[in-house]
């Protein structure tokens, strides 16, 4: 349900059903329902690969992103994912790309188009590790955003283990 900026009522104002529906019906439904977008990866998708030689890439450009209309509050971004490395042990850097509608995209780690890594995870050779990452992004402008999980392997091939585990990517609006 769309959020409408809360109005200040003044004496002598002409009360309309439009105002009441926007201010009470729709805004209360917005608060009741919460503003949350989630994508889950369970089955039927090939494990994505991150090659060290390829640098930063979306983990899965087709499914692992959400689109959300924010209202000016804080938002929490959560990524749960299992990662393993097929060769020698190395680490994986993870980041979040934000694409505001009509504006240049940026990574949350640097607030620029050059990622520096929001999270780093050591991946042993052929050992799968599941991690849940969270990041509270404060004072987010009211806007439509596409928010996407990216990664980079530092050596060899990294895999996200979609085959044997569930991966989840969630963006949820909080208060401030």
Binding to another protein by residue 141, rule CB under 8 A? no
**Binding residue (CB under 8 A) for another protein from 29, 42, 51, 120:** 120
Q: Supply 68's token pair.
A: 């959300």
Of 77, 44, 46, the residue nearest 147 (C-alpha): 77
- CB count in 10 Å sphere of residue 79: 22
Output DSSP code: residue 52.
G
**Binding residue (CB under 8 A) for another protein from 56, 58, 121, 156:** 121
What is the residue whose two structure tokens read 């889950």? 40
Binding to another protein by residue 119, rule CB under 8 A? yes
Binding to another protein by residue 9, rule CB under 8 A? yes
Are the beta carbons of 42 and 166 closer than 8 angstroms? yes
Burial of 123-146, coded b for 16+ CB within 10 Å and e otherwise, reads beeeeeeeeebeeebeebeeeebe
Binding to another protein by residue 142, rule CB under 8 A? no
- CB count in 10 Å sphere of residue 157: 15
From 8-16, 45-53, 79-87, 161-169, span contacting another protein (CB under 8 A): 8-16
Binding to another protein by residue 29, rule CB under 8 A? no
Please report how close the Cβ of residue 38 comes to another protein at its closest, in angstroms.
17
Comparing CB distances to another protein, the nearer of 3 and 65 is 3
Q: Supply 71's token pair.
A: 């209202």
**Binding residues for another protein restricted to 62-101, rule: CB under 8 A:** 71, 73-74, 76, 91, 93
Q: Give me the residues that bind another protein (CB under 8 A), please.
A: 3, 6-11, 13, 15, 23-24, 27-28, 31, 71, 73-74, 76, 91, 93, 108-109, 116-122, 131-136, 138, 174-176
């Amino acid at each position: 349900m769309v959020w409408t900026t809360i109005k200040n009522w003044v004496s002598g104002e002409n009360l309309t059903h439009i105002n009441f529906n926007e201010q009470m019906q729709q805004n209360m439904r917005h608060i009741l329902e919460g503003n949350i977008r989630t994508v889950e990866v369970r089955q039927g998708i090939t494990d994505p690969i991150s090659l060290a030689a390829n640098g930063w890439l979306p983990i899965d450009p087709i499914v692992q992103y959400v689109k959300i209309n924010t209202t000016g509050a804080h938002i929490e971004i959560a990524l749960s994912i299992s990662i393993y490395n097929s060769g020698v042990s190395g680490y994986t850097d993870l980041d979040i790309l934000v694409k505001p509608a009509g504006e240049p995209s940026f990574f949350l780690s640097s607030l620029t188009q050059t990622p520096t890594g929001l999270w780093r995870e050591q991946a042993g050779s052929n050992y799968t590790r599941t991690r849940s990452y969270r990041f509270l992004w404060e004072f987010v402008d009211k806007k439509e955003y596409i928010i996407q999980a990216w990664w980079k392997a530092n050596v060899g091939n990294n895999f996200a283990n979609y085959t044997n585990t569930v991966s989840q990517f969630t963006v949820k609006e909080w208060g401030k």
